[in-house]
Amino acid sequence: MENAISQVTSGWRRLSSLLVQGGRPEIVPTEGGFVNAPVSRGSTVLFPSLAAMKAQGQRSHEHELIYGAMGTPVQHELERVIAQIEGGSHSQVVSSGLAACTLPLLAFLNTGDHLLLPDSVYGPTRRFADTMLARLGIETTYYPPLADAGTLEGLMRERTRVVFAESPGSHTFEVQDVPMLSRVAHAHGAILMLDNTWGIGIFRPFLHGVDISIQALTKYPAGHSDVIAGAVTVDDETLWRTLRDSAIQIGQLAGADECWLTLRGLRSMAVRLERQAESALVVAHWLRGRPEVARVLHPAFDECPGHAFWLRDFEGASSLFGVELRSDISVAAMQDMIDALAMFGIGASWGGYESLVLPTTGGVRRSIPGGMPEGPSFRLHIGLENPDDLIADLEGGLEVLRASSAG
Ligand SMILES: *Cc1c(COP(=O)(O)O)cnc(C)c1O
């Protein structure tokens, strides 16, 4: 267990100093002042002259203060630290994690282009592709998240401009072969976008060939279930100019309070995640030994699809994983179990300090047959509670499940 725990927590040790120091304009100030930058709300920026206003207006790609809709100082500080965590050159903070998915798709796809989405993709990203992108004349093909290079090659078209990945899938936890996806995309002149929300800090996208990395800052970075925000990060000047221009054209930003709260959350993200990852592993191990459970879809376990890619490419595991029950257990019995849990909240989202549960069966759609777990399944987010208490709660839930199955 010691080894297993260090394997799921190593990445955050590496990041902890960066999370404390990253993005801060002055660590040791020239004059006395607060540790944290103030919340900088504002719309109008005043300039000493028309010439100064014009000169500053030229600097819209430089995280500079121009007009409130183009970002505030606290948003720019958040952008600097997110870019550092992801290992990229520039980050654009946006209003939600979903906006972080839709903005780069709009920025880099044109009418007549073709998009490849993994069948495991976050539901609202799927809906966006199926509705708005389709309306704009952009066609989407869903690919199996664990498709090999040959299969993927076969799906690439002349007008395939974007290959999208989400690793692991946030409900079904297939870990994808991102370097391979990158090789195939680049060989066809396409770019690779990755929704890296699960892998924040433990999957370094630009070392694995990703062109555009997406984060729902709502999750672990904010960490307290009180913020909606997102970020898109690149490591290339040309991509940055297109992305930044698109963000300005659409009017994408996040409010100063959201940015400030996210920065506050980020400063303690390494310790939260170290603890949550460890607790998640403990709970996952316990569930794995239960007779009602067929598989625990935790990327650190070898029964998780794509586990070998996790071993090869990740520096840890976060605290969100799936559980597949035996296929002779009914969905209704699983629902009774979920309703009976006292410490796990029933609700969307994850990455906060508190534990959550959500059914996967009935809540997730697939285009390709056979991509879903066979038995009733649910997803757990492990928070900062004592894992012994969480296990006791799950034990009670499984008792309800057994009673429900018998009755
Ligand atoms: C939650 C989530 C999003 C969307 O984030 P919001 O801030 O809730 O819009 C995107 N991708 C993944 C993988 C998520 O889990």
Counting residues of the chain whose pLDDT is more than 90, the rounded percentage is 89
Rounded Cα distance, 157 and 313, in Å: 28
Give yes or no for a contact between 356 and 225, defined as CB atoms under 8 angstroms apart. Answer: no
In this structure, what token pair is assigned to residue 46?
Answer: 């005043």
Which tens digit of pLDDT belongs to each residue from 281-318?
A: 999 999 999 999 999 999 999 999 999 999 999 999 99
Q: 172 CB less than 6 Å from ligand 1?
A: no
The yes-or-no verdict on residue 28 having pLDDT over 80 is no
Looking at residue 31, its pLDDT comes to 81
- Tokens 């490419």 locate to 313
Looking at residue 76, its pLDDT comes to 96
Which tens digit of pLDDT belongs to each residue from 154-167?
A: 999 999 999 999 99
Please tell me the residue having the least CA distance from ligand 1 atom 15: 170
Supply φ then ψ for residue 166, to 5 degrees.
-145, 115
Rounded Cα distance, 263 and 15, in Å: 15
CA of 45 relative to ligand 1 center, distance in Å = 32
pTM over 0.75: yes
- What's the mean pLDDT when you consider all of the chain? 96
CA 197 to ligand 1: nearest atom: 13
Three-state SS sequence of the chain: CHHHHHHHHHHHHHHHHHHHHCCCCCCCCCCCCCCCCCCCCCCCCCCCCHHHHHHHHCCCCCCCCCCHHHCCHHHHHHHHHHHHHHCCCEEEEECCHHHHHHHHHHHHCCCCCEEEEECCCCHHHHHHHHHHHHHCCCEEEEECCCCCHHHHHHHCCCCEEEEEEECCCCCCCCCCCHHHHHHHHHHCCCEEEEECCCCCCCCCHHHCCCCEEEEECCCCCCCCCCCCCEEEEECCHHHHHHHHHHHHHHCCCCCHHHHHHHHHHHCCHHHHHHHHHHHHHHHHHHHHCCCCEEEEECCCCCCCCCHHHHHHHCCCCCCEEEEEECCCCCHHHHHHHHHHCCCCEECCCCCCCCCEEEECCCCCCCCCCCCCCCCCEEEEECCCCCHHHHHHHHHHHHHHHHHHHHC
Looking at residue 224, its pLDDT comes to 98
Of 406 and 126, the one with more pLDDT: 126
Identity of residue 225: S
Which tens digit of pLDDT belongs to each residue from 354-363?
A: 999 999 998 8
Looking at residue 33, its pLDDT comes to 84
181 Cβ neighbours under 8 A, 6+ residues apart: 152, 163, 165, 192, 209
Stretch 21-26: mean pLDDT: 81
The yes-or-no verdict on residue 79 having pLDDT over 90 is yes
Rounded Cα distance, 379 and 291, in Å: 18
Give yes or no for a contact between 323 and 380, defined as CB atoms under 8 angstroms apart. Answer: yes
- Residue 203 C-alpha from the chain's centroid: 11
Identity of residue 255: G
The yes-or-no verdict on residue 378 having pLDDT over 80 is yes
Give yes or no for a contact between 164 and 141, defined as CB atoms under 8 angstroms apart. Answer: no
Counting residues of the chain whose pLDDT is more than 70, the rounded percentage is 100
Rounded Cα distance, 342 and 365, in Å: 28
Q: 228 CB less than 6 Å from ligand 1?
A: yes
Identity of residue 242: T
Q: 218 CB less than 6 Å from ligand 1?
A: yes
Looking at residue 191, its pLDDT comes to 98
Sheet harboring 293-297: ordered strands across?
Answer: 293-297, 320-325, 377-381, 356-359, 345-346
Identity of residue 161: R
Q: Walk me through the domains of the chain, giving residue ranges and CATH numbers.
A: 18-267 (3.40.640.10), 269-406 (3.90.1150.10)
CA of 168 relative to ligand 1 center, distance in Å = 13
CA of 200 relative to ligand 1 center, distance in Å = 13
Which tens digit of pLDDT belongs to each residue from 240-268?
A: 999 999 999 999 999 999 999 999 999 99
By CB atoms closer than 10 A (0-12, 13-18, 19+), residue 239 is buried
Note the maximum CA span of the chain.
Answer: 79
Confidence bin at 3 (pLDDT 50/70/90)? confident
Q: 78 CB less than 6 Å from ligand 1?
A: no
Alpha carbon of 149 to those of 140, 239, 341, 404: distances in Å?
18, 25, 42, 45
- Residue 212 C-alpha from the chain's centroid: 13
Which tens digit of pLDDT belongs to each residue from 36-51?
A: 888 999 999 999 999 9
In this structure, what token pair is assigned to residue 27?
Answer: 């660590």
Closest by CA to 405, choosing from 313, 317, 326, 346, is 326
Most informative mutation of 232, 258, 321, 349 for ligand 1 (most atoms within 8 A of CB):
349
243 Cβ neighbours under 8 A, 6+ residues apart: 90, 92, 103, 104, 107, 212, 232, 234
Confidence bin at 237 (pLDDT 50/70/90)? very high
The yes-or-no verdict on residue 407 having pLDDT over 90 is no
Looking at residue 363, its pLDDT comes to 84
Stretch 377-395: mean pLDDT: 98
Looking at residue 365, its pLDDT comes to 85
Q: 232 CB less than 6 Å from ligand 1?
A: no
The yes-or-no verdict on residue 2 having pLDDT over 90 is no
Which tens digit of pLDDT belongs to each residue from 82-118?
A: 999 999 999 999 999 999 999 999 999 999 999 999 9
Stretch 10-34: mean pLDDT: 85
CA 228 to ligand 1: nearest atom: 7
Rounded Cα distance, 165 and 161, in Å: 13
